[in-house]
Structures are given as C-alpha cells and as structure tokens.
Homo-oligomer: A and B are copies of this chain.
Amino acid sequence: MNLKEVKGVTFVDGGICAAGGFRANGIQCGLAHNPLTATEENSAVANNALPAKKKNDLALIVADRECTAAAVYTTNKVKGAPILVTKEHIKNGIAKAVIVNSVNANTCNADGVEKAEKMCQLVSEETGIDVNDVIVASTGVIGQILPIEPIANGMHELAEGLTYDGNSRAVEAIMTTDTQVKEVAVQFDLGGKTCTMGGMLKGSGMIHPNMATTLTFITTDADISAELLQRALSDVVKITLNRVSVDGDTSTNDMVCVLANGTAGNISVTKENDDFEKFVNALYAVMMNLARKMARDGEGATKLIECICHGADTEKTAETVAKSVITSSLFKAAMFGEDANWGRILCAVGYADADFDINKVDVSIGSDKGVIEVCRNGAGVEFSEEKAKEILGEEEIIINISVGNGAGKAVAWGCDLTYDYVKINGDYRS
C-alpha cells in the first residue's frame, strides 16, 4: 500500500533508526510459544498459512544521549505489568532506551511487575543506562508467566548487535500475528534545521484503541521539551491510532511512546508556536500512516477501509459515525465479499450514538476504480452493481458519508472481516 502524503513532510527510509543517534537491534531469544510456528498445527483450517519460520522476539532501542520522552497507554483496567513499570520510569519526562518482547504479554501474572523491572535491570547492566531511563513493553499471550531466562541469556547478544540501521531487526521482534512490517519515517523543517522522525508499530488483532493502541515506538532528533512532546503525542493519538478498529477489542498492553534526542540542532520547542505545529504535523504523518498500515494488516484482512464522515455539527459526531461503520461486523463481512450492501453502512450510521438527521445522509463508495453514490437523503439510489463490484475489488476502499452541512469531519480506518480472522483467533495460544 502507498503512504498517504502530508504537506510539509518528506518520507524517508529507516524506521526508528531514521533519526540520528538511535541504535536498534532485534534477536530471537527463544521465548516459548511462537505463534508464527504454531500455525503449522492448524493446517486443517489453513488457507493462507503464515510462514512457519522462527522470528525475532526481543528488541532494544538505545539513544546515544538522554531524550525527552512521552507516552500514552491503554485505558483497559487490565494493564500489562510493563505499563506500570514504564509509567514510573517515564514520569520525569526522560528516557534513553526501550526494551520490548513479543510472544508473551506479561499481563495478569502475579510476578509481572517484578519481571518487567528485571528486564530494565538487564538492559542497565549491559549498557550502563540508568534503570529508571529504560522503557519496557511486552506483547503476546495474556496470563502466562514470562520466562526471564531467554531474555537474560540473550541480552548480551542483543546489546552487542545494536547498530544505527538495526530498525528491521527490531521491528520484526515486536510482531505477533502481524504479517507485514510497519515502519514510517519522515523529514521536516524546524527553523531551517532538517529534523527526522521515524516509528515502528505492531498490531493486528485486539485493535480498538482508546487513548492509545498497540505498541508504537517513535524516535526523533528534534529538540522538544517533555511537556510539549506529551501534548503533541496526546493530540495526535486521538486522530490517528484512536481511529482504527480491527475487532472492537481494546488491548491490555497498548502503549505508544516517543523519544526525542534533540540532536537536529533546532531551537528547542518549548511552547505552542509554529515549530510546535510543524512537529505535530510530522508526528501526524508518521502516526497516520502507521495507523493505516495497522488497519490494512488487521488480522486476516484483505482490504484497508477508510471511512470519511463530513458535514457533521462537530468533529466528535463525525468520528462516532465513521468509527461505527468501520467497527460493524456485518459491514466488514460485506467488504470481504465485495458486496455493495450499503444498507449495512446506513444501519451502522443509524445506531451510532451521535446527533444528526438520518434523512440527510448521503453515502458513496470509492477506490482507484472510481466512485459511486449508493444512498442519498437516507434512501437508496440506483447504481451499477457491476461497477460496484469493480470498485470493491480493490485493496483500498473509501466510504464517504455526508451527514449534513456542518464543518465537523473525521476519518477512521478499519479492514474487512474474513475467514482468516476466525482461523487466527480460534486457537491463538496453541
């Protein structure tokens, strides 16, 4: 899929290593239960079996110098132990390293906090970084004791292998049921200085963000205060990651964090000025494109669905409508079937808990193959089923919904619901 352009930024390669001063690595340390191998056992139901190869399961990101840091976490009452530890370590707005494992979420375990602390300590011992400057994250199965031995045994190799172009090894290590690597990096200007920002994300199922989502790590060489970094992140999360739904399930381990090492040489961003706007714009470009990649790689998905709602009285109303549509199981199954069953779109618009006149709702369906109107003023209009089929045959579908004449507008991203979603989740643990 193509990256979506954003004014004022240029896309570059390098993911979390795109910005100078960040080294990364990922290794396969051997945590038990590797979902990418387990699918071998499911061959009876496997139509598109995932590759049965061992993959990296432990990643480390280290900054050359102290960074300002900000994070947003899941609102789920069940919180992974790493989140509790990271919150403590990051509360002074400073961090220097990220350690993260997949396979096991270290959540709902009596010894979870202890194990998460231990992971930070192992990083500290190997790198000399203060234990309180280490961010820790885990993703994978909930409720299984995290074995610390493979992590302890692998830490030396992990730290030894850190390089300024290690982003590919790191991003592989955070994948669970993800089938695609998700990295985005951009360059942008702050007061004549070129700044770089890059991020990586994992997320495929249990995706219905609320104040944050999935595991997302972003690094930048821009100079920005911890307070403004947090403000930028909190704002951008709301219109990017929080507008994706794969299956309506809000994860226990969601976390997004940004590290800014300030080496770009820009005048430090310490108030809400033009530079802050430019920084927010760059962060939006990275996170919006990561969000799109996540939706496209939703568990079992064959299509990215972008739903744009406009004409609402408020942005909140537009957001509620757009999210209602991309969350509807019936709509998602129809998209998989490439069936222009617009009644399901209108049904989901209708049960959205928002204020608008259903008799003023227009709906059109589009893709690279064209756009057709399917509903005007809340009632169906004639359209060519043949053309609809052609449009829905594409991998990126746009649902455009107008609910009136207001200025409120929002975009939400989702995917289709497929046999493979059921396959992947029918026996995730084995």
Contacts and interface: CB of A to CB of B under 8 A. Distances in A.
A78 B350 contact: yes
B336 A428 contact: no
A201 to B, nearest CB: 19
B426 A349 contact: no
Contacts of A250: 347, 350-351
Nearest to A140: B343
Nearest to A336: B426
A205 interface: yes
Contacts of A248: 248, 327-329
A347 B378 contact: no
Given A108-B346, A343-B141, A425 B337 contact: yes
A9 B334 CA distance: 43
B249 A109 contact: no
A179 B17 CA distance: 55
A108 B330 contact: no
Interface of A: 45, 75-79, 105, 107-110, 141-144, 205-206, 208, 210, 247-252, 327-330, 333-334, 336-337, 339, 341-344, 346-352, 356, 358, 375, 378-380, 417-419, 421-430
A329 B380 contact: no
Contact of A333 (B107, B344, B421): B421
Nearest to A332: B425
A69 to B, nearest CB: 26
Nearest to A206: B330
A41 B380 CA distance: 25
Contacts of A348: 249
